[in-house]
Amino acid sequence: MQVATDAQVVKRVLQGDADAYAVLVERHQGSLVAAAHHLTGDPEAARDLAQETFIDAYRQLRQLREPSKFAGWLLGILRNKCRKHLSRRQPDSVPLDEAPAPSTTDPEPEGGPLTELLGQLPLADREVLAARYISERSYSDIARTLETTVNNVRVRCCRARQRLRKLFEEAQSQITQAGEAQ
């Protein structure tokens, strides 16, 4: 059995086979949710943003000029949704006297320390790292999505990895110092 390419499925959807869109959703949902999670740091918002992305993509499918680039186009829609989400999100505020005390027995948050470190990176860094390593996009796909050059994407990925490495080393240093203090 031969698996249909994204371009073939898009063509079927545009020809009136609305049910074929489910193939695209199933194929790309995992990577889209993962990318949104890494961009927003919020697993619940990530699922919502991915769902909204699929809805918008379905409505705008006729605007897709190159069906073979569906995945990159979809990631571009998601990227814009994540940016809007982050720009309008208000920080949670709770009066200090009402805030629960942190517990040392709480389980590690979803994603653990690496997710926390990723959350400390600027959005632009999280964006390229998520596209490259979570969504497994090629440099050229990312470049088209971000409307820049492949070399620019390579440089941005390299710099983002360096910043993440520095954050990791700082965290390791703090852990080592805390262990020595005890």
pTM, full prediction = 0.60
Q: Spell out the domains of the chain, with CATH numbers in brackets.
A: 6-89+113-181 (1.20.140)
What HEC string does the chain produce? CCCCCHHHHHHHHHCCCHHHHHHHHHHHHHHHHHHHHHHHCCHHHHHHHHHHHHHHHHHCHHHCCCHHHHHHHHHHHHHHHHHHHHHHCCCCCCCCCCCCCCCCCCCCCCCHHHHHHHHCCCHHHHHHHHHHHHCCCCHHHHHHHHCCCHHHHHHHHHHHHHHHHHHHHHHHHHHHHHHHHC
What is the pLDDT tens value at each position of the chain, 182 positions in all? Answer: 677 899 999 999 999 998 999 999 999 998 899 888 888 888 899 999 999 999 999 999 999 999 988 988 998 899 899 989 988 865 544 443 344 443 333 333 455 666 677 778 888 888 888 888 877 788 888 888 777 888 988 998 889 888 888 888 887 787 777 777 76
